Structures are given as C-alpha cells and as structure tokens.
Amino acid sequence: MRDPLNRVLANLFLLISSILGSKTAGPHTQFVQSFMEECVECLEQGSRGSILQFMPFTMVSELVKLPALAKPRVVLGITDLTLPLGRRVAAKAISAL
C-alpha cells in the first residue's frame, strides 16, 4: 500500500468501522450510511475500480444493522464475491437480515 490515496482510503474505512462500532448514533452514523449508499449506487451504475476493496469484511455485519443498508442488494454490492471469505461474509449477513 505505497500509494498515498490507498493509505487514506484504508484509514477512512478504519475510521468508519470505529464509528459503526460505537453504541451512539448521530450525524456521523448518517454520514456512513449515505457514503455507503453512494458507493453501492456507483457500483450499480458500472463504476470501474471500487474503493470498497479497502473496506474490512468485519464492517459488513455492522453496516447491515443500519436500517437503510439492511438489504441483500447492499450486502452483495459491498462484499467481494470473488473471494471465498467475501461469499461467506455475504451469506452470513444476508441470513441475518
């Protein structure tokens, strides 16, 4: 991860993960929800090169706790289904919906 942009994206997702892990909801939670909705929308429109590759798989279970993101379409959009771990995480998250 030598590219500065990659480092920033990885750190952004670590910050988002800590926001999701906190027990209090607020404007920061709304930002995360809106940001992830936009990421999924961009992917559905055929965007090339996903910043979601920097998202830790552990975030998926936290994201689906947000009502607007608790949809199979979102789970499939935010997980890398080309990886066995991604498929397992997606299946577990969808079964928990």
Could you tell me the mean pLDDT of each successive run of 10 residues in the chain, 97 residues long?
84 92 86 91 79 89 89 91 94 93
* Contact (Cβ atoms closer than 8 angstroms) between residue 51 and residue 14: no
Ramachandran quadrant class, 24 (left: phi over 0; alpha: psi -120 to 50; beta: rest): beta
Q: What is the pLDDT of residue 68?
A: 87
Residue 15 pLDDT:
93
Residue 94 CA neighbour count, 13 Å, CB half: 14
**Domain span holding position 73:** 4-95
- pLDDT for the residue 48: 64
Q: Over the stretch 61-89, which tens digit does the pLDDT of each residue have? A: 999 988 888 999 999 988 989 999 999 99
Q: Spell out the residues 6+ positions from residue 22 whose beta carbon is closer than 8 angstroms to its own.
A: none
As a whole number of angstroms, the distance between CA 50 and CA 79 comes to: 11
Task: Check residue 33 and give its pLDDT.
Answer: 92
- pTM value? 0.79
Residue 90 has a CB neighbour count (10 Å cut-off) of: 21
Q: How many angstroms separate the CA atoms of 55 and 19, rounded?
A: 13
Based on the structure, what is the number of domains in the chain? Answer: 1
